[in-house]
Amino acid sequence: MCGIAGFLTRNASWGRSDLERMTEAIAHRGPDGSGHYAQAPVFLGHRRLSIIDVAAGAQPMTNETGTRWISYNGEVFNHASLRPALENAGHRYQTRCDTETILHAYEEYGPACVERFRGMFAFAIWDETEKTLFCARDRLGIKPFYYYWDGSLFAFASEIKALLTHPALSAAFDESLLPEYLAFGYTSDDRTLFKGIRKLMPGHHLRLRADEPDSFRIESYWDARPDATQPADGDDAYWIRECRRRLEENVEMRLMSDVPLGLFLSGGVDSSAITALVRRMAAGPVKTFSVGYEEAEFSELAYARQVANRLGTEHHEVVVGMEDFFDALPRLIWHEDEPITWPSSVSLHFVSMLAAKEVKVVLTGEGSDELFAGYNRYRFYQWNQHLGPAYRMLPEFVRGWLRTSIADSNLLSAKLRRKLGHTILGRGESVESLYLDNFYSAFSAEEQARLLPGAPVGAAYASFSRYWEAAAGRTPVGQMLYADQKTYLQELLMKQDQMSMSASIESRVPLLDHTFVEFAAAIPDRMKIRNGEAKYIFKKCVEDLLPPEIIYRRKMGFPTPLRSWLMDARNAPLLANLRNKEGLLASVIHMPEMEALLRRHQGGEVDATDRLWRLLNLQLWGDIFVTGRRKVDAPLLTRA
């Protein structure tokens, strides 16, 4: 696990010193060493976190003849099985590193090399002979790859902040993405909030010849399609047995390490199952790490402790308080490069710092919900779809009357109105209303219209809709899972990467091996949601590993006591920051609308926690990256 950066240009005024600034900006990703290849027109930089072949794996790395160079971030877990064929083809190894396997595989197979790799990766290879730069990102987007291309300069890096140190680049806000940010908290296509800076999308690679600007090409090499080799008539026992076999294979493969390894343990079924498997596979002690809050009702520490005690792990915990949380926020926005979407990013940073005292690699349970339909929204949307045909038999005026009555009724309790409002009875039937507005959007379309007068209608959902439509031939559950894997999961993985790397540790996600994703896509819906039980197949396949009270307990989803914190009188500096007329918000939103939202929230009329969190993060992001008004280490709250 490392950090990469570099650029390709014919401009002789840019050189090694610019490359060194780029790699220094991401030193936290690789505190064990740095390396630079600076031979115009290409400049490759690397920061190393030593995991495999600690003594001999320095980068940028070259082949036997010095004609090809690579800067690489990630782990290819099947590299040892690829090596014999490459050696038989005449390639000579100098190390035990997967880095060298990637380089030799590119020499042997060209761009198709990526189709042979199992793991997480982002890399750039310079081919001196062909004067070509080849860059690739893993299938799921576990490792990040950002780039800038203006027709003459191509620059890339693991993190945006490294790009911003290049003298040709500067931070500017892409305001066209504001509707999508307010709705989701992130962007789901290749654009970022920084104008001109893009993401190489998961499962894509790009090529650029140094002397041919028009040669710039990006191509897709993988998509999350069902494994066609799976039987169409497989019974329950087959699916459960095969799921367990593949789960064990994925976990065992990710134990590859020459340095200490541990696990993030939340006490939920995903991380607990992985911990149980590692406990069976590992030769020595297993270290686990958990994070919780001072407010017990929002903390899962008791569950994590229960699992750790049962499995006999060396368990470590950290508790986060309100001041810890908010004072860390500016620096963590700097680490993520964009506004933090979910408060759990902050907690993830703290548990990563805890783990870094003991290990350099952690395994996590990320991805299970997006493979096996673990979120409540999947069940609700499926239920709404089942109800749809009968509901549509009612005349339109009756349906309109029902929606209005549910929203305005004084006879229904607030709780019942809220629940009915999530059903087809209380909403429009479009995917935008029934799925996105219902379960994703912090700001409704009506609120956005007031907050962003003049913004294009539908701009918030355009990117998501493309993925939704691309999966139109699947079942409703399959369609939701595919779209979430392309959007929501990408942001989760970015959070996982940036927050673990903020503490200079590597995180691995066994559940997101691409072969497992393809297998999961082939599993019938009845094995994912059954009788209201989400992730049915996953829970069944680990029943011998964990007690029922862990497997079948109510999902908490890593909640944060943010609502009560935002109501706390000590948070006056946060609200003052939101209102600051010199901040980014004042230039892009209708401030009286935000003021009205604040008053209603403080008065208890509405719960605007998610909306205020989104606005606060955008304001802080603007202060740090765009206006430069805030230093990343300046605390948000005044300490007593």
pTM (whole model) above 0.85: yes
- Residue 547 pLDDT class (50, 70, 90 cuts): very high
| Digit-coded pLDDT (tens) for 593-640 | 999 999 888 888 888 999 999 999 999 999 999 998 888 988 888 654
In percent, the amount of the chain with pLDDT more than 90 equals 75
**Per-residue b/e over 596-613, b at no fewer than 16 CB within 10 Å?**
ebbeebeeeeeebbbbbb
2, 97, 113, 135: which is the annotated catalytic residue? 2
Could you tell me which residues are beta bridge partners of residue 320? 293
Q: 97 an active-site residue?
A: no
Omega within 30 of 0 (cis) for the link into 41 = yes
pLDDT average, residue stretch 567-593? 91
Give the integer Cα–Cα distance in Å for 429 and 597.
28
Give the model's pLDDT for residue 630. 87
Four-CA torsion 185, 159, 205, 90, nearest 10 degrees: -150
Alpha carbon of 43 to those of 35, 65, 133, 352: distances in Å?
11, 18, 11, 32
Place of tokens 């045909």: 389
Omega within 30 of 0 (cis) for the link into 167 = no
583 φ/ψ angles, rounded to the nearest 5 degrees: -85, 175
Q: Which two tokens stand for residue 27?
A: 């030193």
If DSSP states are collapsed to H, E and C, what string results for 73-114? EEEECCHHHHHHHHHHCCCCCCCCCHHHHHHHHHHHHHHHHH
Residue 428 has pLDDT above 50, yes or no: yes
Place of tokens 């079942």: 475
* Residue 353 CA to its chain's centroid (Å): 19
Give the integer Cα–Cα distance in Å for 170 and 417.
48
Give the model's pLDDT for residue 314. 97
Residue 134 has pLDDT above 80, yes or no: yes
Give the integer Cα–Cα distance in Å for 278 and 276.
6
Residue 557 has pLDDT above 80, yes or no: no
Q: Give the β-pairing of 261-264 and 287-293.
A: parallel
> If you ran DSSP here, which 8-state letter would residue 432 be given?
I
Q: Which two tokens stand for residue 80?
A: 């040892």
Q: Give the β-pairing of 146-149 and 132-137.
A: unpaired
Give the model's pLDDT for residue 638. 61
Give the model's pLDDT for residue 640. 42
Residue 377 has pLDDT above 50, yes or no: yes
Give the integer Cα–Cα distance in Å for 248 and 243.
9
Q: Radius of gyration over alpha carbons of the chain, in Å?
A: 25
CB atoms within 10 A of CB 362: 26
Alpha carbon of 481 to those of 179, 269, 445, 476, 587: distances in Å?
23, 19, 24, 9, 37
Give the integer Cα–Cα distance in Å for 385 and 391.
10
